[in-house]
A = this chain, B = another copy of it.
């Protein structure tokens, strides 16, 4: 699966670590095996030490980050940056290159600004969804963050990985606005309107005068983001969390087409989620082979009631036998008391329910890889892609479940590959099966848009158009922006000169 992995040079690394201790203090440079354990890939085989760094350094300021980058350039050693390292299904904090110096943002975790009137915040890369939520609550702001399934991750990390949430602000790459970036040469860049010192609109207007640089820093190793603006949702008068179940797979296409049209109309403004065989605590249990969908409505009570009736009528008309329920939360405080996972994520409340449920079902040492591909938001296509995914999964002996996130015009189909990380053979088989599935999905037209560290090269390989034109451009940009190849080498399959795998 992975190509032969480059390794960091030990002598250079030791010299760099000495310089880092001098710069940051011993307390910000972890090196003991015990301390590093937490920063390995939690879902790799427990006995493997392939994806292990040689140290974890903890910057506490932008200047610290610049100093770290300077030292890495001086000693030509690879860094591997992460927000909180909680993105377990995609590799956690673990580096692609063994022996990399891991840069942890856990201590750069300040909410730098909240603008109540214009509904945005500015965060450092270590700010977790939990932190922002608590900060907003403590400050008495009537603003909701958008939240992904787990609240312990970094907002910046999730956003830069093109993550999604489930409120109307769930399209995280689009609801961020205004980045500050440390480039590999140590220089600082502010994107968009932040490029003018006096500007009042760095975090208010997404475009630039001239080219827009922000996309360069998504899923990338071209720079290190140290600040980000994030747009927030004004707390609505009421919030309805809706939930529907049905048994007949034949009805799935109609449900998805119906929801798509309701999204086009602006009746549903969040990202609904369709699930099959997904364990859940909200509403009904769909794990018995049935289907479920959740969606949410927000706003004035009179409008939300009218919208709910429209959704209910449309789903009932298109899908005989569908059963619809809902929970209505009046006001900011009533919503803040929500406890069910589905109601929490659609209401911008961070939680850990899904990982707790995963551990209950599969044990403390279970791991999973998420196979996450993008297809058209068309009922017929989603049904066909689920059929294909199930067929591939069963052929590879992988139990099948699926969650489909309905995005504005695409369907993000996520299915987990679950294994016991104490069992080397089972773990390796899972990674191999995942790899085969990536290729089969690509043949069928479904790109994986985000992946774990071990499959990054393989997924990049599937982006073959124009004789791999995207990779050619990425490698040129990498050589320009990071000539010593110090920033997260191998991330998303982008390697610096000298580390590129033979092709």
8 A Cβ contacts from A24-38 to B: none
Interface readout for A216-230 with B: 1 if CB under 8 Å, 0 if not?
A: 111110100000000
Considering the chains assembled together, what is the distance between the CA atoms of A128 and B479 in angstroms? 39
- The yes or no answer to A6 lying at the interface (CB within 8 A) is no
* Residue pair A212, B204 in contact (C-beta under 8 Å): no
Residue of B nearest to A441 (CB): B198
Asked if A395 CB lies within 8 Å of chain B CBs, one says no
Q: Mark A184-220, 1 if CB is under 8 A from B, else 0.
A: 0001111101111111110111111111111111111
Nearest CB on B from A166, distance (A): 15
A374→B215 contact, CB < 8 A: no
What CA separation (Å) do A220 and B208 show in the bound complex?
10
A377 contacts B118, C-beta separation under 8 Å: yes
Q: Is there a chain B Cβ closer than 8 Å to A408's Cβ?
A: yes
A492 to B472, CA, bound (A): 26
By beta carbon, the residue of chain B nearest A229 is: B409
Q: Which of B204, B213, B236, B374 contacts A473 (CB 8 A)?
A: B213
Contact segment of A88-96, A350-358, A426-434, A445-453: A445-453
Q: Determine, out of A260-268, A332-340, A386-394, A416-424, the stretch whose residues face the partner at the interface.
A: A260-268
Contacts of A210 in B (CB 8 A): 219-220, 460, 463, 470, 474, 492-494
Chain B residues contacting A190 (CB-CB under 8 Å) are 465-466, 469-470
Contact A267 B303 (CB under 8 A): yes
Is B377's CB under 8 angstroms from A196's CB? Answer: no
Contact A381 B215 (CB under 8 A): no
A497 within 8 A of B: no
Q: B410 contacts A201, CB within 8 Å?
A: yes
- Jot down 20 A-B pairs with beta carbons below 8 A, ordered by A: A118-B376, A118-B409, A162-B207, A190-B466, A190-B469, A193-B449, A196-B462, A196-B463, A199-B446, A200-B446, A201-B376, A208-B219, A208-B470, A209-B447, A209-B459, A210-B492, A211-B492, A231-B408, A231-B409, A302-B306
